[in-house]
Structure 1
Amino acid sequence: MSAGTTTRSGGRRPSPLDRFRQLPLRSRLALLTTVAVAFAVALSAAACWLLTRDRLTEQLDAQLSSVEVNPSYVQALSAYCNNPDGVHFQPTPYTIQLVSSGGYVCTSPDKSPIPAQRADTAVAAGRVEGTVHTTKATDGAAMRVSTTPYRGPLTDAQGHRLAISVAVPMSQITEPLDQLALVLLIVAGVGVLGAATAGLWVARAGLKPVDRLTDAVEHVARTQDLTIRIPADGEDEIARLSRSFNSMTAALAASRDLQQQLIADAGHELRTPLTSLRTNIDLLVRSEQSGRAIPAADKAALLASVKAQMGELAALIGDLQELSRPQGPGQTVVEVVALHDIVGTALERARLRGPSLTVTADVEPWYVRAEPAALERAVVNLLDNAVKFSPAGGSVEVRLSDGELTVRDHGPGIPQDELPHVFERFWRSPSARSLPGSGLGLSIVARTVEQAGGAVRLRSADLGGTEAVVTLPGAPAPPPQLPKEPPSRPDDRDG
């Protein structure tokens, strides 16, 4: 069944629920509050009316049951019904009737007869001890009737036994109930109107923080201003939402600042090799155009410089791509990696890059959960950094034990005031400005180690040099692998 109806033109007519959803939030809150209060008031009024009706009916029934009819009145009433002339009665507020088991009714003077019901004749016949019910008189008035057996010797003309019915108009109950219903209706109407007004006021007051949040979001969307903050007082849901919004804008502002800083730093770092590369290529092009050959040694030096600068650009672009990769969960493929194998691969590369260096290693097995390619790049960066800053003929010492990887060089070391900056992007020590590199290697190391749940730090080593320490959680043995399912045989597949 669809939520709406279809018009003749083929369009879908909105259902009441659709129209309700199209209302503003404060209108929906006020409407829901009004409906809830109206339902509660209506339920309370109905319960009050029903309870009052039952209590009034019980009182009326008790009043009828307490009426005792004098036997002489019964005899006079019987005589009156046989011969109305010459019989006089005292006025009575009740309608008194004699009911025979055959259905005959004898009603007191000046009262409208009440047709006998089956319950009344059953009482007259002695099958029922008594009955109380509501019925209508011949004039249409609703009457409450209490019928009890008559114990005297009188019978009707056919000899049927008699019962006595005492009745009063139901107006004694209906009139107060009608007045009560009117009062309840007025009170309920005032209550519903008050609830609607209060609901609208509460909705407006309660949604003021949401309005502030909406204004802030629209301001950010319109001006790209991420410095805006929303006051967040209290511990309710709105305050939590405001604090979450403030945290989000602060994180976005920090991310934008880092992005701008990254672009500026990358542009600055790219400018130097590009300028040098363009200068060398211009020299080569000018030599070809002018016909003045460059000496072979100088030309070889220029080509080597061009090749080195292209390699430096490629390395810088690779580092930038590594840093620009998303860091959120689910963005990388994490698996169990043998850290000692990665260290072994990095050691081979370090020995090739520093043939004059002595690279010693003490590596124990250690397995970690990380992204293999990123972890290998981080370890290679650490060893390349040690090789780059080691003097000719020096040594690099590598040790892996209990998840702690230590890389120690015997270079000039890092001053204490520069240690807090070594993991910042594009930061380079003044003493390393002349060396190749982009200043991104240690930043990549820190990011990769943190993603793997570890920590990295640099410290000055005893007797000079720098010591890099990487701690990664893991185990000396790989975790057990789940058994693979045996391949199904061809005859099994064929059924």
Structure 2
Amino acid sequence: MSWPAGKDRTLSLRSRLALLVASAVAIAVAAAAITCWLLTRAQLESELDTSLERTTASPGSVQDALNNCDAPPPSSKPGFAYVQVVLPSGARCVAPDSQPVKVQPADVAIARTPTHSSSLHSSTTDDGAEVRVNTSQVSFRGLGVFTVSVSRPLSEIDTSLNRLALLLAAVAGLGVVGAGAAGLWVARTGLRPVNGLTRTVEHVAATEDLTVRIPVEGEDEIARLSRSFNAMTAALASSRDRQSQLIADAGHELRTPLTSLRTNVELLARSEETGRAIPPDDRKALMASVKAQMTELAALIGDLQELSRPDAPGPGPLQVVALHDIVESALERARLRGPDLTIDARLNPWYVRAEPAALERALVNVLDNAVKFSPAGGSVEVALGRSGELTVRDHGPGIPAEDLPHVFERFWRSPSARALPGSGLGLSIVARTVQHAGGEIALRPAAGGGTVAAIRIPGAAKPPPDEPPRT
């Protein structure tokens, strides 16, 4: 018989567990029952043999057996034991009230042996009934020495063994049925958390609802699996929320420069279509605005690409770099962006393990903020101390205390900075880069006005001897 394609021929986990428990119990019960039956049979046979060894034939029964050597076997009801005399020729003389038992070679050997000996063995009656025989030489005063076989039927113990077998079979059957029911109950109880986990996973797959959580009880493997699943869904929900927020914030930030750029381009296109030339000064201002908007868009897209990288690890390996050299390179770029500002720098040697390009970009962002918020003709102080702390201090308006907890959030901009160019992503990039290098950054108000940005990255005043700094 062939199964239809795709048909599931496997049992459920619950059924397999119940079947496994029932099978294990059935095997154990069967093994115990068989062992019990075999031990009981061996014990009964041993007791029967002991009883035969202790049973002796009376002189009268032997005399009666000798008198019946030529007579047919008696037809009366047999007694407790069968008695017969075995002659050296192999003939037998059966006592009254006894069943004739077939003479075995061991019986004849004892009859022909002049010394006293005995043999305990099995045989059968003439009608095929199995018996246990004890043959030995017996001496009777006034009669002489005779070889006498005393037998008892094995039906005595077979009846008890058959009853025991039926009883064990009934107990084993009840045990298997009970084990199957217990196995099914155990499977249902043990797999109840798994069923809940399965329903939750199916619900998440169908609805994409990552807020669902599985109740966790205990400290077993199912509880660990539930905790891991809850942690996974929480991480996925957080990642999806951050992704949605990033897309929403990026769309919001892109809308303003795109709108302004579209307006300026439409003015230029209308001038070309109508033939009305825009005054040179207005056209120059319009082109400058278009250029500024393009620059802002390029910077925003670059910041978004930077933030789209995974938090760890970065695209390149961490390297031992000279922080003072990277600060110096970033200062050159900052001086170009604030030519009317005075930027003082006091840099001590400090070597850190970081990604050079990302670290320089982060420091440029910090210096750009200082330049952007500094008044015309103002100054910016940059210091890299012997302990490795880098500080950048400006003399601008400062950051209100209520805004400090939000400065490293993506796209967040204080009300006073919304009129200035920027995407609100710079400090987010700085914080991520510094944290990737194992450091930390903080902004605090400066004495006398302005803001101090403090960056501390673990390092040393000298590079490791086995790994020179890379530039």
Q: TM-score range by the shorter chain?
A: 0.7 to 0.9
Q: 1:82 to 1:175 in 2, by over 3 A?
A: closer
**AA at the equivalent of 1:251:** A
Quote the offset at 1:438 in angstroms. 0.7
Change in CA separation of 1:287 and 1:86 when aligned onto 2, cut-off 3 Å: closer
2:398 paired with 1:413: yes
- Once the two structures are superposed, the pairs formed by residues 115-264 of structure 1 within 5 Å of their partners are 115-118=103-106, 121=109, 125=113, 130-148=118-136, 150=138, 163-264=147-248
Measured against aligned partners, the alpha-carbon deviations of 1:198-239 in whole angstroms (never above 9, x if no partner) come to 222332233333222222222222222222233223333333
Structure 2 distance, partners of 1:248, 1:123, is 90
- Three-state SS of the structure 1 residue aligned to 2:299 is helix
2:16 maps to 1:28 = yes
Matched, 1:451 2:439: no
1:360 offset after TM fit, Å? 0.5
The correspondence of residues 78-97 of structure 1 with structure 2, limited to 5 A, is 79-80=66-67, 82-84=69-71, 92-97=79-84
1:296/1:128 CA distance change after superposition, 3 Å: farther
466 and 46 in structure 1: CA distance in 2 versus 1, 3 angstrom threshold = farther
CA contact (8 A) 2:378 2:395 kept: no
Match for 1:35: what amino acid?
A: S
SS, match of residue 146 in structure 1: strand
User: 2-side partners of 1:126 and 1:191: how far apart?
Assistant: 58
Aligned to 2:320: 337
Alpha-carbon separation, structure 2, partners of 1:123 and 1:38: 51
Q: Which amino acid aligns with 2:130?
A: A
Distance 1:115 1:454 in 2: 104
1:147 touches 1:164 (CA, 8 Å); kept in 2?
Answer: yes
The aligned length equals 461
Deviation sequence 1:316-341 (CA, Å, 0-9, x none): 11211222223466x74433331524
Aligned counterpart, 1:487: none
Structure 2 contact 61–83 (Cα < 8 Å) conserved: no
Cα separation, partners in 2 of 1:181 and 1:401, compared to 1, 3 Å: farther
Q: For 1:64, which of 52, 69, 80 is the aligned residue? A: 52
Displacement of 1:397 after TM fit? Answer: 0.7
SS in 1 for 2:168: helix
- Alpha carbons 1:123, 1:147 under 8 Å: kept: no
Give distance in 2, aligned partners of 1:163 and 1:344: 124
In 2, Cα distance between equivalents of 1:86 and 1:418 = 123
Contact 2:73 2:99 in 1 (8 A): no
**Structure 2, gaps ≥5 residues long:** none
- Measured against aligned partners, the alpha-carbon deviations of 1:398-440 in whole angstroms (never above 9, x if no partner) come to 3164554433333322222111111111001111112221111
- Quote the residue 2:450 is aligned against: 465
Match of 1:268 in 2: 252
Shift of residue 259, structure 1, vs aligned partner: 1.8
| Counterpart Cα distance in 1 of 2:128 and 2:212 | 77
Residue in 2 that maps onto 1:484 = none
Rate the CA distance shift 1:473–1:166 in 2: closer, same or farther, 3 A: farther
Structure 2 contact 64–95 (Cα < 8 Å) conserved:
no
1:282 aligns with 2:251: no
In the alignment, which residue of structure 2 is the partner of 1:295? Answer: 279
Cα deviation digits, residues 363-387 of structure 1 (max 9, x gap): 423232x444433433332232233
- Deviations along 1:56-110, one digit per CA (max 9) or x if unpaired, are 2222222222223346655654x346544999x9974122344567766555443
| Structure 2 residue corresponding to 1:423, chosen from 380, 397, 408 | 408
C-alpha distance in 1, partners of 2:435/2:119?
Answer: 89
Q: Whole-Å Cα distance in 1 between the matches of residues 111 and 237 of structure 2? A: 92
Deviation at 1:195, TM superposition (A): 1.8
SS in 1 for 2:15: helix
1:290/1:86 CA distance change after superposition, 3 Å: closer
For residues 328 and 119 of structure 1, the distance between their equivalents in structure 2, rounded to whole angstroms, comes to 95
Amino acid at match of 1:94: A
Does structure 2 retain, via aligned residues, the 8 Å contact 1:120–1:131?
A: no
The alignment-based identity, stated in percent, is 56
Q: 1:436 aligns with which of 406, 421, 428?
A: 421
**Alpha-carbon distance in 2 for matches of 1:431, 1:27:** 68
- TM-score by length of structure 2 reads 0.84
Check whether the contact 1:426–1:438 (CA below 8 A) recurs between aligned residues.
yes
> C-alpha distance in 2, partners of 1:126/1:474?
109
* 1:172 CA drift (Å): 1.9
Show structure 1 runs of 5+ residues with no match: 1-6, 482-495
Q: In the superposition, relative to structure 1, how do residues 195 and 299 fare at CA in structure 2: closer, same or farther (>3 Å)?
A: same
- When residues 437 and 116 of structure 1 are mapped into structure 2, their CA distance, relative to the original with a 3 A threshold, is same
